[in-house]
Amino acid sequence: MLVLRCTRKLLSRLPAPPVSDDAVSTTTLGDWYATVLMVRPAHLVLLVNETTRLPVVLAARELSTLLERIPAAIADVLTDLGVDAAVIARERAAMGEIRCDTTRSRSVLGTMNEFALHLGLMREAEPTMTEHAMSLELGRVLVTVPPLGYEHPAELTAQALQGPQVSPRPRGETTRREPPMKSSPNIYQLKITLRDTRPPIWRRLQVRSDVTLFKFHGILQSVMGWMDGHLHQFVAKNRVYGTVDLELPERENEKKVLLSQVLRKPKDSLVYEYDFGDGWEHAVVLEQVLEAAPGGKYPYVVTGKRACPPEDCGGTGGYGHLLEVLADPKHAEHTDMVEWVGGSFDPEAFDVGEINRGFHGGWYLPPADGAPRSKTTLPRQTKLKLEAPRRRR
């Protein structure tokens, strides 16, 4: 039996869908989530597996036959992932009965929203792309799969179904698929420094080399402490990467460029620009190319120093002024600024554990050579000296 957890939008369109009554999926991959997407020129149904986040796209026409079409569509994708035919046959046999239920995981719904965004871009770029081709393309997108971290759903699914002995609903393995993708990508150790801050605000980060620049943008936002409320772009070797903008044709699509295509060897660098008004520029330098640690989860922040400046504080010059005002209770703006930062602000505060918990829950990378695990303390507020803001070119 397969339990299909449908959004209300889809359930309302299914003709008398069978209700699960808390039934349990007997398939190896477990429950699937489903929704309908109103994209042009034809509506689509998006399926996402709860365990591995594998996406499968079907045409939304004739919803009365949707439940009948789902096993074949899933089997076709698994076939192209290189899953053994006998395993696919067992999985398809277990889908002989499909029962519907409501959704229960916000995390899976978040993945579906991310896939929906990608599907919209695919349809815009290639209106004639088939649903099966969309499924394979989406399977190569890097997404968050709790509790593993960032994974390729296609890789994760193929390895989860790999071999003759497959335990029910495995978590934590991955696969290969054409075009070839490394099952064990290199790990990049990067140093990210917020330019023009003295002493510097910086982070040392380990991240997979095969993340897209779009995904890397999200990682940097979390690592630095920004709120992702402004525009951004990457600049490397006179090339600019960011969100697609018809008014900026020179900007390349960050969703189609991997970090490893921009940074190839130690000392290679790029600039990550955030909030064009405040003009925050981050120097990102590749320090080392490493092998993944056994059991390691990435991204992983190794260390760093100092708090991220508050959003909309006016760039480096405005941040310096803010710290002067906060450090001087007699300053005319002191009360207003204290209220603006939420009551207090410690420029020296930095908790590497909090960032990594945000990525991976309670997991941490074991220290090398038995070294004690570092502990982060929050010292008293101190005044940072910042250089005058540079003139933007």
Is there a single domain that holds both residue 208 and residue 341?
Answer: yes
Distance of CA 220 to the CA centre of its chain: 11
Residue 230 sits at the vertex; the CA angle it makes with 228 and 236, to the nearest 5 degrees, is 90
Spatial distance between the Cα atoms of 148 and 33, rounded to a whole number of angstroms: 19
Cα dist from 287 to 21, 36, 204, 206, 233, whole Å: 54, 44, 9, 10, 21
* Domain membership flag for residue 9: yes
Is there a single domain that holds both residue 110 and residue 213?
Answer: no
Residue type at position 338: V
More confident residue, 375 or 207: 207
Q: What is the CATH number of the domain that holds 89?
A: 3.30.420
Is there a single domain that holds both residue 58 and residue 199?
Answer: no
pLDDT single digits (tens) 22-58: 778 899 999 999 999 988 778 899 999 999 999 999 9
- Is pLDDT of 166 > 60? no
Is there a single domain that holds both residue 109 and residue 204?
Answer: no
* Domain membership flag for residue 178: no
Q: What is the CATH number of the domain that holds 333?
A: 3.10.290.30
For residue 201, which phi and psi values (nearest 5 degrees)?
Answer: -95, 120
Cβ–Cβ < 8 Å for 293, 365: yes
* Domain membership flag for residue 378: yes
Cβ–Cβ < 8 Å for 303, 204: yes
Residue 90 exposed, middle or buried by CB count within 10 Å (0-12, 13-18, 19+): middle
Range of the domain at 382: 187-386
> What pLDDT is recorded for position 187?
92
Spatial distance between the Cα atoms of 240 and 251, rounded to a whole number of angstroms: 5
pLDDT single digits (tens) 96-150: 989 888 888 888 998 898 888 888 878 887 888 899 999 998 888 877 787 777 7
pLDDT single digits (tens) 174-198: 333 333 334 457 899 999 999 999 8
Spatial distance between the Cα atoms of 294 and 292, rounded to a whole number of angstroms: 6
Is there a single domain that holds both residue 197 and residue 346?
Answer: yes
Cβ–Cβ < 8 Å for 95, 25: no
**SS3 assignment, position 43:** coil
Neighbours of 266 (CB within 10 A): 12
Is there a single domain that holds both residue 55 and residue 127?
Answer: yes
Neighbours of 362 (CB within 10 A): 8
Spatial distance between the Cα atoms of 149 and 206, rounded to a whole number of angstroms: 13
Is there a single domain that holds both residue 156 and residue 201?
Answer: no
Spatial distance between the Cα atoms of 286 and 269, rounded to a whole number of angstroms: 6
Does the predicted model carry a pTM greater than 0.75?
Answer: no
pLDDT single digits (tens) 291-318: 888 777 889 999 999 999 999 999 999 9
* Domain membership flag for residue 35: yes
Is there a single domain that holds both residue 307 and residue 366?
Answer: yes
Is there a single domain that holds both residue 315 and residue 198?
Answer: yes
pLDDT category at 378 given cuts 50, 70, 90 is: very low
Q: Domain boundary at 144, 160, 176, which?
A: 160
Is there a single domain that holds both residue 374 and residue 254?
Answer: yes
Q: Residue written as tokens 């602000």?
A: 345
Spatial distance between the Cα atoms of 203 and 221, rounded to a whole number of angstroms: 12
> What pLDDT is recorded for position 383?
38
Structural domain count of the chain: 2
Is there a single domain that holds both residue 338 and residue 198?
Answer: yes
Report the first-to-last Cα separation within the chain, whole angstroms.
61
Taking phi first (over 0 means left), then psi (-120 to 50 degrees means alpha), and beta for anything else, what does residue 341 get?
alpha
Spatial distance between the Cα atoms of 251 and 387, rounded to a whole number of angstroms: 30
Is there a single domain that holds both residue 141 and residue 222?
Answer: no
